[in-house]
A and B are shown apart, each in its own frame.
Chain A
Amino acid sequence: MSTHRFCDGFLRRDFLRIGALTGVGLNLPGYLRLAQAGEIAPSSRGRSAIFIRLGGGPSHMDTFDLKPDAPDTHRGEFKPIKTNAPGVEICEHLPKLAQCADKFAIIRGVSHTLGAHRLGTDYLTTGNRPLPSLSFPCYGSVVAHEMSSDPDLPPFVAVPNQDFDATGYLGVEYGPFNTGSTPKPGRAIELRGLSLRDGVTLADVDRRYDMLRKFDTAFGPAAKQDKLLAGLDEFSQRAYAMLRSDRAREAFDLSKESPAITQMFNDSGFAQSCLLASRLVESGVRFVTVNYGGWDTHSDNFTRLKTRNLPELDAGLAGLFNALAAKGLLDSTTVFATGEFGRTPKVNGRAGRDHYPRAMFCLMAGGGVQGGRVVGASDAKGEGPLHDAISPDDVAASFYHSMGINPAKEFHTPSGRPVMIVRYGTVLKDLFA
């Protein structure tokens, strides 16, 4: 093995060791070590997470940070309503969420400066302001790297993947397993590489694996001694376990869900994605990304929100919180929902709102996060933070904290540069205690 040292005197071998000790390590050194050492006990706090990406950038002023006293030019059409959490008000078009506001916390006055979709998304998906010289891993990749998972289940699933879940310096082995599409009610969903399609049956898989065992013998006993060959064999077995696993198959099959849970969701793609996410987490998947776009409302903001986005968000998220609670999973699952930025407080000439990173909101629930709370605040017209700004880095640090992962933990990039999981964030204490 190479014994090259990194910039800071760190031995590459140590790097591999650290990468492996703490995580599921779907890469080779991680896997082998894990196989020897046994799994690492999961932390006491949140042990799974659901990340909901509201692509396009939802308007904070029309959802969770209404300004009824702002001037006409800013206020917008919607009125606030009371929730079941004392003193917390949200938009009138989110009645179901209002009824379970005790289950989630609202973070207001989150602020940054990147007003382009891609940059904002990279920032909010990694907790690190994008750099040209270094690409950061998304939350799911870090979780897959840091936490162990069962051998017959994918640790990280994206519903569906939209190419935003960058694995950055951690490498592709920590990327998500992708569902090919958004789930539909009562149906099983296909997972790239794991679903059996085009008439392939389990019997076919068994027969082929039998054949493979017969012909994959060229290296003889060397296969056990050589690290690469031993690793390939390990992965072959894990792939087989996944392909064969009833648990994995059933986790992706919405028809197997109990009616009591199913009825908490409507038939929209987003609600069904949330239902799937709750099922996956229940089966033991560590991290699920749900993508729900359509928030880029440069024109016709109010009609679009009122008729489509808000009712769907309301039904899906409320369903998710209630389902997780009913399954007893809310304490062990962190739910984190965010867009890439907020939208201009001032309504534009087309009844729309444009990109606005200076003020936005995030939602967080479960994993020790105290529901029914508002943390942070924006100013009177929703144009920026009222007091101290909360940065995306702070929100990210809080998210990792809820997962029992130290956000200040240091990784090493493949070229040896030391870098913390979240470089600048501070945990928002008010979310927890």
Chain B
Amino acid sequence: MRRGVCLRGAVVGLLLLWLQVGFVRADEPLPASERFAKLDSPAPVSFRRDVIPMFARIGCSGRACHGSFQGKGGFRFSLFGYDFKADHEALTAGEKPRVNLADPDESLVIQKPTLMVKHEGKQKIREDSWEYNVLYRWIKDGAKNDADEVGQLDRLEVQPAEILFDSSTEPVQLRVLAHWSDGSVADVTELTRFRTNDESVADVSETGQVTTVGPGDTHIVAFYDNGVTPIPIIRPVSDQFGPKFPKTPAPTQVDRLVLDKLAKLGEIPAPVCTDEQFIRRVSLDLTGTLPPPQRIVDFINDKDTHKRAKLIDELLDTPAYAAYWTTRLCDITGNNPKFMGEKTYRSQISEQWYDWLYKRVAANEPYDKIVEGIVLATSRDPDEDYAQFATNMSATLRKDHPADFADRAYLPHYWTRDNMKKPDEKALSFAYAFLGVRLQCAQCHKHPFDQWSKQDFEQFQAFFENLKYGLDKGDKEIYDDLRDKAVAAADNAKNDKKDQKKEAEKMLTEAVRDGKVIGWKELYIDQPRQLDAKHLAKLKDADKKKYAGRVITPKLLGGEEVVADQYPDPRVALMQWLREPENPYFAAAIVNRIWANHFGAGIVEPADDLNLANPPSNKPLMDYLTKQFVAHGYDLKWLQREILNSDTYQRSWQTNPTNRLDDRNFARASIRRLPAEVVADAIKQACASDQDAASCYSDLDDRAIGPKLNTGYNGGKTGDSYLVSLFGKPARETNCDCERSADPTLLQTIYMRNDQDMLRVIDMKRGFLGSLDPEAEKRALAQRRYEQELKQHERKMARLKELGRLDEAPAAPAPPPRRELNLDPIITQIFLRTVSREPTAQETSDARQSIEAAASPIDGLRDLLWAMLNTKEFITNH
């Protein structure tokens, strides 16, 4: 990862290097326990390098102890300890300093953890230990904060860099070396926190000893200062690893990289899936759509050896592909009508948002270009003045021949949401959507699993500080004027202020619909007053608090500081940074999300949590796809093809003993519940007429992934929105992919089994069942009449019998003719419609028997359709 250092930092670094080079050039770095073995050891004690990491390592700055926001026992550390200034103040300042410079042993910070005085947190340090020596010496030497002087941590090295428990299962001791920007190297093993990412595979002791627990792979992560270094741990799951791994075809680079990892693990991949399985899986994953019955049959009968690649190409060109991925992009960018800054037209704005993305996804515009249209958005397109902007924006909402919002250069709606008003909200959303990074933790404290400090967060949010939504100077007049004109016709006779306002809104809406121009609030860059450095420094001194937030220099995450006056809109620098080929997040985030869509898990999992302690399960694979995606000009369809044409994607879900428990190395397909919108559409499609089912890839009007139902969703409980919210459609309220849930729940099952909406869809008019018997109503009527006649007849017979006049009995009424259907092809249809495959001979015969036993063939077929919709095979992608 690139770590930029501003010029000033570099100078300080060089100076320090020169100062320190004399006494840190030890040939072999000694561990802390040796360096501080004696109270009078010569090694200097550093607040940043030794004291703070030691507190973190012992657990003092953890959330359950003094790291808690309320502190503990009146004493608070910054959580996970990276706020050196605050921690130093907490220890040395205030009414009751925790250190006693005159007599270090009288310091509370020594007396408490050693239990010289009562300590709720029990004994943490023994008096004859090196930890005690560190504390004592630090206080005795003046308890100084050297955080800025000691320079930055360049690199945290862990030895060995990888552990393979193949031939030996003996525990392995880790060694951790801190490489500082001054060139010094320290053994910080005893000052490092360790953790395992999966304790069923490997465990690590507090001292850094790694033991294998079970087969599989995971990482052990080392934390010291802001360094986070994961090292891979592998223990094969079978004896078929390395040279003994069976030869497996690897037609693509993706396959080669996946198989490399599987070979290390001795994990045998599942075979490639059948054509039936493939067409269902790829159609659902790529277009959110069940393949129509006829397409399945055609595909199976197709003899072309390249038919899978051709199918992928065909699906990529469908409107359903664009709609499905637009839906996902709407999730990530937070398209929710509830939050639109423009209240009156919130649902139209939401639809514009969808349309804008849809147009670009359908045209396969490069991903970086799409994002640029969002990142650099202002309400005005380039070269528009306010009046032109108001005219053009109004035109998108007029009734007759509305202008297409999607034709505009930018999507400002992303920034104009209510929940994006503050710079910190913008920073969180931006990091989530375009970087796949969760910065939330760093908003309040050092990120526990990544390098981000609170200061990093503050500097990052500085990119968004002059982005405003409202009216720029001078435009207020035009705005008011336009609004006044538009409602000039309004009858303002009413006195009630509230009503008047409401009435005016109504007038405005009508005026816009009729093609009049009204004023709009806009997203714009507010140019800050230029202050020279001297002036700034003065202000800063005068009122530290007030200006504390003002003078923060924008700094790219893990990158360089940005000089603000070069960039009137600092987002330009941000966009440039996203595009740099070495950017560790931008391309990786979308690659990983698309991969996660197809495999049920990202290469980094959770897919929106790229952080140092959460490394990819297959780094070469992640690197390859990311680099190639960038090299191919951020071509989304290229990425889709590259993934979907691999054997890795096309593997069966069938497990074998070596891959059964693995869900992170892609040795088989994982079985996943369909996403919410896909469930809604699939139910409808399975029950639709042949004609409607055939146009499913192109007709989006009625689709949950289409523009209408997609954006109109506001969490209601009626109609389709009940269904999609039940199946975990994200509300698009929080910055987390986890908002979309694929977990099954009891309420979902009950919906599928017996909800009125569900049963109604099965029986919908002009649906599949209805088309089988167009005269069903007439027939039902005849059946009822027959039943009545039969009852009458029986009564008559009973009376005649009583009277002993059975010889006069009239003939029994004849039942209406039973409509006989040719069942087998219909049964096949129902299977193709629901589970996208033909029934086995046994299934056909079972189904036929059940249907023949039913009151009528339609009743029997309805039961079959119900049963198939309720199978696990229907509700999952497999």
**Chain A residues near B (Cβ < 8 Å):** 1-5, 7-9, 26-28, 31, 132-135, 161, 163, 171-173, 175, 177-178, 192-194, 196-198, 200, 204-205, 207-208, 210-212, 214-216, 218-219, 222-223, 225-226, 228-229, 231-233, 235-236, 238-240, 242-243, 414-415, 417-418
Interface string of B735-770 (1 = CB under 8 A from A): 110110101111111110111100100000000000
Across-interface contacts of A418 in B (CB, < 8 A): 63
Q: Is the CB of B756 within 8 A of A417?
A: no
- What is the total number of residues of chain B having a CB less than 8 Å from a CB of chain A? 71
Given the interface contacts A173-B745, A193-B750, does A222 sit within 8 Å of B755 by beta carbon? no
B653 within 8 A of A: yes
Q: List 28 A-B contacts (CB under 8 A).
A: A1-B663, A2-B605, A3-B197, A7-B441, A9-B195, A31-B746, A132-B419, A133-B419, A163-B717, A171-B743, A172-B725, A193-B754, A198-B759, A211-B867, A212-B867, A212-B871, A214-B867, A215-B843, A216-B872, A218-B835, A225-B655, A225-B660, A228-B744, A232-B744, A235-B749, A238-B746, A243-B754, A415-B738
Selected contact of B872 from candidates A7, A192, A232, A243, CB within 8 Å: A232
Name the CB-closest residue of A to B755. A193
Q: With A193-B755, A229-B876 as known contacts, state yes or no: A242 contacts B750, CB within 8 Å.
A: yes
Q: Could you tell me the distance between the alpha carbons of A265 and B270 in the complex, rounded to whole angstroms?
A: 65
Most buried by B among A3, A28, A133: A3
Which of A161, A177, A236 has the most chain B CB within a 10 Å cutoff? A236
Query: If the complex has contacts A132-B419, A193-B751, are A161 and B717 also in contact, measured as CB distance less than 8 A?
Result: yes
Q: A218's contact among B605, B673, B755, B873, by CB below 8 Å, is which?
A: B873
A28→B609 CA distance, assembly (Å)? 23
Contact A208:B749 (CB < 8 A) given known A219-B872, A414-B738: no
Say how far B126's CB is from chain A's closest CB, in angstroms: 25
CA distance A389 to B749 in the complex (A): 45
Given the known A-B contacts A5-B613, A7-B448, are A233 and B743 also in contact in the complex, defined by CB atoms under 8 Å? no
Question: Is residue B148 contacting chain A, with contact meaning CB distance below 8 A?
Answer: no
Residue of B nearest to A176 (CB): B747
Cα distance A132–B429 when bound, in Å? Answer: 14
* B-chain residues with CB within 8 Å of residue A8 when the two chains form the complex: 63, 448
- CB-based nearest B residue for A177: B747
Contact across chains for B870 and A216 when beta carbons are under 8 A apart: yes
Q: CB-defined interface of B302-313 with A at 8 Å, one 1/0 digit per residue?
A: 000000000000
Interface centre among A9, A27, A175 (most CB of B within 10 A): A9
Q: Are B734 and A415 interface neighbours, CB within 8 A?
A: yes
Residues of A within 8 A of B743 (CB): 27-28, 171, 173
Instruction: Report the minimum CB–CB distance from B757 to chain A (whole Å).
Output: 9
B residues 433-492 in Cβ contact with A at 8 Å? 438, 440-441, 448-449
Contact status A208-B747, CB under 8 Å = no
Distance in angstroms between the alpha carbons of A207 and B673 in the assembled complex:
26
- Choose one: B441, B653, B717, B863; the contact of A211 (CB below 8 Å): B863
List the B residue with the shortest CB-CB distance to A221: B655
- B846-865, CB under 8 A of A: which get 1 and which 0? 11001000100000000110
| A210 → chain B closest CB, angstroms | 8
Contact between chains at A208 and B866 (CB < 8 Å)? yes
Are A192 and B725 interface neighbours, CB within 8 A?
A: no
Contact indicator A198/B756 (Cβ below 8 Å):
yes
Chain A residues contacting B738 (CB-CB under 8 Å) are 414-415
- Which residues of chain A come closer than 8 Å to B750, judged between CB atoms? 193-194, 239, 242
Cβ B871 vs Cβ A4 within 8 A = no
Q: How far is the CA of A226 from the CA of B669 in the complex (A)?
A: 12
Give the contacts of B413-446 with A (CB-CB under 8 A): 419, 438, 440-441
CB-CB < 8 A to A173: which residues of B?
Answer: 743, 745-747
The answer to whether the Cβ of B155 comes within 8 Å of any Cβ in the partner chain is no
B156 at the interface (CB under 8 A from A): no
Report yes or no: A172 in contact with B728, Cβ–Cβ below 8 A.
Answer: yes
Q: How far is the CB of B520 from chain A (nearest CB, A)?
A: 24
Say yes or no: B613 contacts A219, CB within 8 Å.
Answer: no
B671 touches A228 (CB 8 A): yes
Please report the C-alpha to C-alpha distance between residue A225 and residue B733 in the assembled complex, in whole angstroms: 35
Nearest residue (CB) in A for B221 is A5
Known interface pairs A26-B747, A235-B744, A238-B746; A417-B872 also in contact (CB < 8 Å)? no
Inter-chain contacts of A161 with B (CB < 8 A): 717
Cβ of B38 under 8 Å from chain A:
no
| C-alpha spacing A133/B715, complex, angstroms | 17
B746 touches A415 (CB 8 A): no
Contacts of B717 in A (CB 8 A): 161, 163, 178
Q: How far is the CB of B666 from chain A (nearest CB, A)?
A: 15
Chain B 721-736 interface residues, beta-carbon cutoff 8 Å to A: 725-726, 728, 733-736
Give the chain B neighbours of A215 by CB distance below 8 A: 843, 846-847, 864, 867-868, 871
Please, which residue of chain A has its CB at the minimum distance from the CB of B663?
A1
Residue of B nearest to A10 (CB): B63
User: By the criterion CB–CB under 8 Å, are A133 and B734 in contact?
Assistant: yes
A243 touching B759 by the CB < 8 A rule? Answer: no
- Asked whether any CB of chain A lies closer than 8 Å to the CB of B583, the reply is no
* A5 lies within 8 A of B744 (CB): no
In the complex, residue of chain B having the shortest beta-carbon distance to the beta carbon of A219 = B872
Nearest-neighbor residue (CB-CB) of A236 within chain B? B749
Q: Which of B673, B715, B728, B756 contacts A228 (CB 8 A)?
A: B673
A210, A222, A240, A242: the one contacting B653 at CB < 8 Å is A222
Q: Which residues of A contact B846 (CB under 8 A)?
A: 214-215
B509 CB-CB contact with A under 8 Å: no
With A132-B419, A212-B867: A222-B654 Cβ-Cβ less than 8 Å: yes
| Chain A: CB-nearest residue to B878 | A219
CB within 8 Å for A414 and B736 given contacts A28-B744, A172-B725:
yes
Say yes or no: A415 contacts B872, CB within 8 Å. no
* CB-based closest 6 A-B pairs: A173-B745, A235-B749, A414-B738, A193-B750, A211-B867, A415-B736
Chain B: which residue is nearest A173 at the CB level?
B745
Residues of B within 8 A of A207 (CB): 854, 863
Does the CB pair A3–B218 fall under 8 Å?
yes
For window 563-618 of chain B, which residues contact chain A by CB distance below 8 Å?
Answer: 601, 605-606, 609, 613-614
With A28-B743, A219-B873, A417-B440 in contact, do A4 and B759 touch (Cβ < 8 Å)?
no
- Give chain B residues whose Cβ lies under 8 Å from the Cβ of A218: 835, 871-873
Instruction: Tell which of B419, B716, B748, B873 touches A216, judged by Cβ atoms closer than 8 Å.
Output: B873
